[in-house]
Amino acid sequence: MNQKISNTNVLPPFNTACCQDGKAYLPTRNSVSTHRKVTHKPNLLGSKWFIKILKRHSSSVSTETVSKQDFPQIKRPLKASRTRQPSRTNLPVLPVNEDLMQCTAFATADEYHLGSLSQDLTSHGYVEVTSLPRDAANILVMGVENSAKEGDPGTIFFFREGAAVFWNVKDQTMKHVMQVLEKHEIQPYEIALVHWENEELNYTKTEGQSKLHRGEIRLNSELDLDDAILEKFAFSNALCLSVKLAIWEASLDKFVESIQSIPEALKAGKKVKLSHEEVMQKMGELFALRHRINLSSDFLITPDFYWDRENLEELYDKTCRFLSITRRVKVMNEKLQHCMELTDLMRNHLTEKRALRLEWMIVILITIEVLFELGRVCFLIK
| Predicted confidence (pLDDT) per residue in 191-235, tens digit | 999 999 999 999 999 888 999 988 899 999 888 888 899 999 999
274 pLDDT more than 90 = no
In total, the chain counts a number of residues equal to 382
The arithmetic mean of pLDDT across residues 260-283, rounded, is 82
Contacts of 299 (CB under 8 A, 6+ apart): 241, 245, 293, 325, 326, 329
Confidence of residue 97 (pLDDT cuts 50, 70, 90): low
35 pLDDT more than 50 = no
Q: What is the DSSP letter of 140?
A: E
Question: For position 218, what pLDDT does the model report?
Answer: 93
Q: Is 16 within a domain? A: no
Residue type, 100: L
Same domain, residue pair 182 and 261: no
Select from 25, 136, 150 the least CA-distant residue to 99: 150
Candidate from 57-61, 65-69, 133-137 with smallest mean pLDDT: 65-69
Question: For position 98, what pLDDT does the model report?
Answer: 62
Same domain, residue pair 137 and 216: yes
Select from 255, 258, 256 the least CA-distant residue to 274: 258
Read off the pLDDT of residues 150-160 as tens digits, 9 standing for 90 and up: 888 999 999 99
Question: For position 199, what pLDDT does the model report?
Answer: 92
345-370 burial, b at 16+ Cβ within 10 Å, e below that, comes to ebbeebeeeeeeeeeeeeeeeeeeee
149 pLDDT more than 60 = yes
Candidate from 42-51, 98-107, 208-217, 269-278 with smallest mean pLDDT: 42-51
Question: For position 45, what pLDDT does the model report?
Answer: 42
The arithmetic mean of pLDDT across residues 33-45, rounded, is 40
119 pLDDT more than 90 = yes
Q: Is 238 within a domain? A: no
Confidence of residue 165 (pLDDT cuts 50, 70, 90): very high
Q: Is 66 within a domain? A: no
- Cα–Cα distance between 152 and 206 in angstroms, integer? 12
The arithmetic mean of pLDDT across residues 24-52, rounded, is 41
Domain limit, last residue, from 194, 229, 264: 229
- Cα–Cα distance between 112 and 183 in angstroms, integer? 9
Confidence of residue 137 (pLDDT cuts 50, 70, 90): confident
299 pLDDT more than 50 = yes
Question: For position 28, what pLDDT does the model report?
Answer: 42
49 pLDDT more than 60 = no
Question: For position 270, what pLDDT does the model report?
Answer: 80
Neighbouring C-beta atoms of residue 217, cutoff 10 Å: 24
Q: Which residue has the higher pLDDT, 41 or 157?
A: 157
- Cα–Cα distance between 136 and 306 in angstroms, integer? 10
Q: Domain count for the chain, please give it.
A: 2
The arithmetic mean of pLDDT across residues 260-273, rounded, is 81
Q: Is 271 within a domain? A: yes
Question: For position 321, what pLDDT does the model report?
Answer: 93
Neighbouring C-beta atoms of residue 203, cutoff 10 Å: 21
Q: For the chain, what is the total number of helices (H) and then of strands (E)?
A: 11, 10
- In degrees, rounded to 5, the angle at the alpha carbon of residue 328 between the alpha carbons of residues 326 and 331 is 110
SS3 379: helix
Backbone angles phi, psi at 31, to 5 degrees: -65, -40
Confidence of residue 130 (pLDDT cuts 50, 70, 90): confident
Mean pLDDT of the chain: 77
SS3 289: helix
Question: For position 63, what pLDDT does the model report?
Answer: 40
* Domain span including residue 368: 248-381
Same domain, residue pair 256 and 225: no
- Cα–Cα distance between 29 and 32 in angstroms, integer? 5
Q: Is 19 within a domain? A: no
Q: Is 364 within a domain? A: yes
Same domain, residue pair 183 and 264: no
Q: Is 28 within a domain? A: no
Q: Is 166 within a domain? A: yes
335 pLDDT more than 60 = yes
5 pLDDT more than 70 = no
- In degrees, rounded to 5, the angle at the alpha carbon of residue 201 between the alpha carbons of residues 243 and 127 is 80
Candidate from 47-51, 241-245, 262-266, 283-287 with smallest mean pLDDT: 47-51
10 pLDDT more than 80 = no
Same domain, residue pair 220 and 268: no
Same domain, residue pair 262 and 375: yes
% the chain with pLDDT above 90: 39
- Cα–Cα distance between 239 and 64 in angstroms, integer? 55
DSSP 195-256: HHS-EEEEEEEESSS-EEETTEEEEETTS-HHHHHHHHHHHHHHHHHHHHHHHHHHHHHHHH
Cα–Cα distances (Å) from 293 to 83, 162, 195, 249, in that order, read: 22, 14, 21, 10
Confidence of residue 67 (pLDDT cuts 50, 70, 90): very low
Question: For position 344, what pLDDT does the model report?
Answer: 86
Residue type, 120: D
